[in-house]
Amino acid sequence: MVRKESLNSWIQYWQPKSEARLRLFCFPYAGGSASVFRLWSELLPPQIEVWPVQLPGREKRLSEKPFERLDPLIDTLMETLLPYFEMPYAFFGHSMGALISFELTRALRANDATTGPVRLCVSGHRAPHLPHTLPLTYNLPEHRFIEELQRLQGTPEEVLQHPELLQLLFPLLRADFAVCETYIYTPQAPLACPISAFGGLRDENVSCESLEAWRDQTYGSCTVRFFEGGHFFLKNEQEPLLRMLTYDLLADLSGMSGTGAKEMFFWENESLP
């Protein structure tokens, strides 16, 4: 049984569930934090325990230097999270978090120190083997970088209009963008675990075709679903997203236990119609 006081700074907003059978590790988008997932524990069924991952450089870890490249981040996550993979688990990541989840899954396979996730859930990111075709933004001059943040619509307008706060966040935002934009895909065999891929129908950066291409990254099944909205659809479409996520994860648990999926999907939550 994990105690809250035993968790390090990498896991925040964690709420233990006595009936938990699966841990869902959640990774945020560029500039995002663990608080993006702070309500998910209440919205997901008792079998699924949400473990929001807090990366350096944000919230209570604001004084820590954020990672600027993906490889050292993955190495650190491997070492840090490995003790918590002793029960079935899955990954969810949006945008930058999807890339982190994918490469962490591949690193765990190479390490062979534990069984991998029962499912990889990726959101708002093209399949990793597709080239990055957009101009680099992490090293843009300040005014151009602000324009890019406005275009993406992921940074609150009150932050963009607050120069002091924006200056405080610039190092984190540039570092996160660098993690994504300097990533180099290395061809490997597809994963064994199934993949759930989620996207926004009006996402200007992630086309439907580039999301469908996640099918090439697994020998298992790959379910691709689209929701209304742009790149940050997970905010406005949280309820339908969590319902689909729940369906996939409970189906995985039912397959592991031999229980029929219909019997497992008994959970009811009025906030998720």
pLDDT in tens, 199-257: 999 998 899 999 999 999 999 999 999 999 988 899 889 999 999 999 999 999 988 75
b (16+ CB within 10 A) / e for 247-256:
bbbbbbbbee
Is pLDDT at 268 greater than 50 in this prediction? no
Residue of 95, 101, 123, 196 marked catalytic: 95
Q: Pick from 35, 32, 27: which is nearest to 156 by CA? A: 32
Interval 174-197 mean pLDDT: 95
- The verdict on whether 6 is a catalytic residue reads no
The torsion of the CA quartet 105, 233, 65, 167, rounded to 10 degrees, works out to: 170
Q: pLDDT by residue (tens digit) across 121-153?
A: 999 999 999 998 777 788 777 768 777 776 766
CA dist list (Å): 35 to 38, 111, 177: 5, 30, 19
Domain extent listing, the chain: 4-264
**What CATH number labels 4-264?**
3.40.50.1820
